[in-house]
Amino acid sequence: MTNTDLPSAPQPFVTRVDARQCEVMVDGEIISALLRGKLFENLGDDKNPVTVGDYVEVSREGNDWAIDRVLERRNTFARRVAGEESDRRQLLAANVDQVVIVNSVGIPPFSSMVADRILVACSFANIPTVLVLNKADKGKRGKMKRIVKSYTDSGTQMIITSAVDGTGVEELRDILANKTSVLYGLSGVGKSTLMNRLDDRLEIKTREVSGSLRSGRHTTTHSQWYPITSGGAVIDTPGVRKFRPFGIPPNDLRIHFADLHIFGKDCVYDDCTHREEPECKVLSALQDDKIAASRYRSYIAILEELEEKYGGTGRIVEKTGPDHKARR
């Protein structure tokens, strides 16, 4: 991709981050820029001060560019820092229109836990999502049908794709058109291969997954912004082994599981945790197969993790009076 292929933008923005140096789009050209030391002051909960998609102010001294300031973000896609006990936020992208969660029905196998964790984080950040089932040429039709039902019942937009035979590629292209999208998922699910199928100018490196480990090998080692021919851009991200949501109050988690929240509105208690409370409508719906068991398992696992990190869910308050539903 040459600079002449790149769109111009009224405000410089970050297209790649590596350690203390970034690539920034300035007047239609990609330049390398160092991060000013002051950006690392007062980081608060954040591990990194700048992420792909950030709009920034830059300055130039001779041939050297530097990022002076990060402008206010419209939204932030982030997770808890991996492998650390401290509660810090790792910024993954900013100012995006949607997150496209790429999962696989081949190798690595589909992980509802990973998908649900990312969906919850995006809901908390108020970022729209699309869930992609990739490698459809390797998947079993019955299993794919069950997965699709579980997530469409929860209101999640889904598509099935295969970079091998082209299944769903045009639909995905339409979803990405004229938007800034993050592609995110486990290592080896085929994000980079899908992107190359969508736009053969990109030539993103790919690697085979490990059949013995049933997991992927990291191909992308940094987040990178790419313009695409259908308009808009895609941010390709490094594959992950585990995703942990950041900053969600435990008692708010139920709001970010849309299928649970629908039934939970009629629970006896305003802050029902949907575990063992009497007359819990979520547990009743689960028993009646109106909520997928995999979704409920994800909810409980994430809830326990958040409670351990941020404290309990709070006091159970019984609803009273004829207007209790109106107060929700």
Count CB-CB contacts under 10 A for residue 57. 12
Residue 206: its pLDDT value, please?
A: 55
CATH (one of 2.40.50.140, 1.10.10.10, 3.30.420.40, 2.40.50.100) for 3-70: 2.40.50.140
For domain 250-327, give the fold: Ribonucleotide Reductase Protein R1; domain 1 (1.10.40)
Residue 221: its pLDDT value, please?
A: 57
Q: Domain 85-236, CATH 3.40.50.300 — does that match?
A: yes
Residue 324: its pLDDT value, please?
A: 36
Dist CA 257 CA 116 (whole Å): 8
Q: Where in the chain is the domain with CATH 2.40.50.140?
A: 3-70
Three-class SS of residue 183? strand
Dist CA 14 CA 130 (whole Å): 24
H-only helix segments in 199-292: 258-264, 281-287
Q: Digits of tens for pLDDT over the chain (328 positions)?
A: 444 455 556 799 999 998 778 999 999 899 999 999 999 998 999 999 999 999 999 999 999 999 999 999 999 999 999 876 678 999 999 999 999 999 999 899 999 999 999 999 999 999 999 999 999 999 899 999 999 999 998 899 999 999 889 999 999 999 999 999 999 988 889 888 888 888 878 766 655 544 443 444 445 457 899 999 888 999 988 877 789 999 999 999 999 999 999 999 999 998 899 999 999 999 999 999 999 999 999 999 999 999 998 887 643 434 443 333 333 3
In the block, tokens 């990190």 appear at 309
Three-class SS of residue 36? coil
Going 199 to 210 to 92 to 114, the CA torsion angle's sign is positive
**What are phi and psi for residue 127, nearest 5 degrees?**
-110, 125
Half-sphere exposure in the Cβ direction for 118 (13 Å, CA): 27
Residue pair 209/117 in contact by the 8 Å Cβ criterion: no
The two three-digit tokens of residue 61, written as one number = 């001294």
Residue 9: its pLDDT value, please?
A: 61
Residue 135 Cα distances to 22, 55, 194, 283, angstroms: 33, 35, 10, 34
Closest by CA to 88, choosing from 249, 237, 223, 247, is 247
In the block, tokens 């004229």 appear at 178
Dist CA 241 CA 193 (whole Å): 19
Residue 82: its pLDDT value, please?
A: 80
Q: Where in the chain is the domain with CATH 3.40.50.300?
A: 85-236
Three-class SS of residue 247? coil
The two three-digit tokens of residue 315, written as one number = 């006091």
Residue type (1 letter), 278: P
Residue pair 80/59 in contact by the 8 Å Cβ criterion: no
Residue 328: its pLDDT value, please?
A: 32
